[in-house]
A and B are shown apart, each in its own frame.
Chain A
Amino acid sequence: MTFSVWWVAYYTILRKEVTRFMRIWQQTLIPPVVTTSLYFVIFGNLIGPRIGQMEGHRYMDFIVPGLILMSVITNSYANTSSSFFSAKFQKSIEELLVSPTPNWVILAGYVSGGVCRGILVGLIVTGVSLVFSKLTIHNMTVMMTVIVLTAVLFALAGFLNGMFARKFDDIAIVPTFILTPLTYLGGIFYSIKLLPDFWQLVSHFNPILYMINAFRYGFLGVSDIQLGWSYVIILAFTVALFRINLVLLYRGYGIRT
């Protein structure tokens, strides 16, 4: 196969994915905006002034980057997990499996779809946050690279969830019991410096902490984590998940008999 053939296949999968989440925008784009708006109102506007400053910034300004990244994480994850599982469930994944599309193109197409949804929701949430906060950008390159890499990482994680899922419940378990707790404990609402030493140490085992802090650095220039470590962690998880997904696709895990 030539590059142009791969490109057509990749573009087709991506277009299909974007069409899918745009078709059901009431389920994919609106709920995260409602949820984060409530966070802005309750934690930022009502409780925030009583908390005062966090790391030298207004509490509202402090939580905005984390809330934007949280919406990116949950949406890029949800897109690939639900779309891939749905394709498995309806057997429409066979349309791709009988075609000459290589596995890495299939993976790239689905992940790009997840990234598009994550970034789009992130942009909408950023727009809403402007009502509550004057966003400043400390380092555009860091902000952009972290948001894209994080979206890629969680789109890959969602894809893995979709591959392992046998029933619809299986794609709800991981976000509910793993992703959400890790995100909330990843320093969206607080600096880990507020925690006792032991819990600070425990927090360092949470990969989402590295992403949120790096993203916050892009906006505010403050971080609990060294920026270099954040990139190392994000890239390491991304490479590992890409490799695992590719091996599972090659073996046909859950999709070939």
Chain B
Amino acid sequence: MQPALEIQNLQKTYASGHRALDGISLTVRQGDFFALLGKNGAGKSTVIGIVSSLVNKSGGTVKLFGQNIDENFAKAKSSLGIVPQEINFSIFETPFQIVVNQGGYFGIPRRTAMERAEQYLTQLKLWDKKDVVSGDLSGGMKRRLMIARALVHRPKLLILDEPTAGVDIEIRRSMWEFLKNINNDGTTIILTTHYLEEAESLCRNIAIIDEGVLIEDTSMRSLLKKLAHETYVLELKAPLKVRPEEIPGFLLLDPMTAEITIDKSVGISKLFETLESANIEVQSMRNKSNRLEQLFLELVENSRQQQIR
């Protein structure tokens, strides 16, 4: 089976001389839910721009489902749906017009495009806004509109560049559910996000870019295994007034909530033994959700230190 996306030695130097990508190679399997992470200016959006042909590359090759974008432009593009970071639709048109027209640009007959527009706008809870001037939509609605627009030609690969930026938690969760469903239906998804919790809960594989270089390309599971420390949030059975000095890495957030960071080699049994010996009873416990954030920062820092050496 051909990979959904195959990037070889991708390079981009802007006219200003800024080298945005320095030989990135990346493969995304069909059906994958893939995270592309990096700090601001790392090169994520440049990669997406090149794949979607909004940015001209300086070197390298890009293949979508085996089709080289330079050689088989139309076929490659037909398989791709893009949800960009910035709003890029006419604010004077209605959501319905925007989605139907996008279908037309992909050669979808108008009647079919109208049916699909209704389907996706309904699924993304925008059908009641279908005839509103899109400039009047809220930020979250505009982002959902761009998802509906990207799906109207039923792409096999959907790339979302920070789709939930500035979106409230309720809408973000509903968007996650929607994306999970279309991924389960067979659409390959590549996601860039600043919410690392989002990448952790949605994506199976992950690549990290820093300063135009790929510094990590692995599965989410093996990446998280690299985490040397684990932080847990503890809900306590009884209030605790003073932080137990004898337990290293113990942080009292409030009398009923604590946070503890332990070396992964220590293990949970040992942790409970330690807590018990300090007469601390735990009601419930969960992983602190920003563990990927912690790892991400470690990896970027390591990569930079290696470059300095």
Contact = CB atoms under 8 A, between A and B. Distances in A.
A101 B101 CA distance: 12
Most B CB contacts (10 A, CB to CB) among A4, A6, A91, A99 go to A99
A24 to B, nearest CB: 9
B104 A11 contact: yes
Contacts of A12: 101, 103-105, 110
B90 A87 contact: yes
B74 A100 contact: yes
B110 A97 contact: no
Interface string A91-113: 11011111111100000000000
B89 interface: yes
Contacts of A95: 88-89, 98, 101-102, 105, 149
Nearest to A19: B97
Closest 3 CB pairs of A and B: A12-B104, A5-B107, A99-B105
A101 B89 contact: no
A204 to B, nearest CB: 42
Contact of B108 (A8, A96, A256): A8
Nearest to A95: B102
Nearest to A257: B55
B108 A99 contact: no
Contacts of B52: 97-98
A8 B14 contact: no
Interface residues of B, number: 35
Nearest to A93: B88
Interface in A1-51: 1-2, 4-6, 8-9, 11-13, 15-16, 19-20, 23
Interface of B: 14, 49, 52-56, 73-75, 77-78, 80, 82, 84, 86-92, 97-98, 101-110, 149
A92 B89 contact: yes
A141 interface: no
A252 interface: yes
10 contacts: A8-B110, A12-B103, A90-B91, A95-B101, A98-B77, A98-B80, A99-B106, A100-B77, A257-B14, A257-B55
Given A95-B149, A98-B77, A100-B74, A8 B104 contact: yes
A113 B256 CA distance: 68
A199 B155 CA distance: 61
B89 A257 contact: no
Given A95-B102, A95-B105, A256 B74 contact: no
B101 A8 contact: no
A97 B54 contact: yes
A1 B110 contact: no
A94 B54 contact: yes
A91 B105 CA distance: 16
B90 A98 contact: no
A12 B107 CA distance: 9
A8 B101 CA distance: 10
